């Protein structure tokens, strides 16, 4: 089951997977970071669709088509803004992973890729975020056979090192 997890460095907009996850905001109307990159690569039709969706609460996920992206679907999820850890941030981040995977499976996706949700502008500590991302994903894969691969896409060396460290800690406790 852990063989279904892959960690790579790169740009999520280039990936040939069934669904990529977007670290969006509550409006779903685009923004900076990975959200901006996904909207730019998908083209304006993506915004037309997300405008109709009408927003998304923190921790939940909404699916749209991928338009000009290689990915068929974009799963938009809204991570928590880090406010020191006392505002339910960890639970909300775990919800993002679980709800995104559920939305991807509902669309028939077999391969899904995640960015490091909340770890950019939203300020979530990277190592803690990587632990939550992986534990939640492993737990999901244990109960759901239909996914073949989940890719964690790291943007930069630090993120890659952190994800690999956390992953090796989980496979050899
Ligand atoms: N591919 C993969 N990862 C990326 C890419 C990319 N092309 N670009 C950035 N990252 P952020 P957040 C990484 O700030 O913290 C937006 O304005 C980045 O290095 O994109 O959840 C939204 O509209 C970081 O590790 O998302 C929201 O307002 C990770 O993606 C707000 O930012 C997430 O960083 C959401 O903040």
Atom from ligand 1 closest to the CA of residue 122: 15
DSSP string, 54-80: T---TT-EEEEE-TTSSSSEEEEEEPP
Per-residue pLDDT tens for 12-29?
Answer: 999 999 999 999 999 999
pLDDT tens, residue by residue, 69-118: 999 999 999 999 999 999 999 999 999 999 999 999 999 999 999 999 99
Return mean pLDDT, the chain: 97
Atom 28 in ligand 1: residue holding the nearest Cα: 25
Residue 168: pLDDT band by 50, 70, 90 thresholds? very high
Give the Å distance between the CA of 63 and the centre of ligand 1. Answer: 18
* Alpha carbon of 107 to ligand 1 centroid (Å): 23
Which residues are known to be catalytic? 35
Share of the chain above pLDDT 70, in %: 99
Which pLDDT does position 89 carry in this prediction? 98
Provide the pLDDT confidence category of residue 170 given band limits of 50, 70 and 90: confident
pLDDT at 106: 98
- Domain spans of the chain? 5-171
- Yes or no: domain 5-171 corresponds to CATH 3.40.1390.10: no
């Amino acid at each position: 089951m852990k063989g279904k997890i892959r960690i790579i460095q790169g740009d999520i907009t280039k990936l040939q997977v069934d669904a990529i996850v977007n670290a969006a905001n509550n409006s779903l109307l685009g923004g900076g970071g990975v959200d901006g990159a996904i909207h730019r690569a998908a083209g304006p039709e993506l915004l037309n669709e997300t405008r109709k969706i009408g927003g998304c609460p923190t921790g939940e996920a909404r699916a749209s088509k991928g338009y000009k992206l290689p990915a068929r679907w974009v799963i938009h999820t809204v991570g928590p803004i880090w406010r020191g850890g006392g505002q339910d941030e960890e639970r909300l981040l775990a919800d993002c992973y679980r709800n995104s995977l559920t939305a991807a499976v509902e669309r028939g996706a077999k391969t899904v890729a995640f960015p490091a949700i909340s770890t950019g502008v939203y300020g979530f500590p990277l190592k803690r975020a990587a632990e939550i991302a992986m534990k939640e994903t492993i737990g999901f894969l244990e109960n759901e056979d239909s996914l073949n691969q989940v890719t964690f896409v790291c943007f930069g060396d630090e993120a890659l090192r952190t994800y690999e460290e956390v992953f090796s800690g989980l496979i050899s406790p």
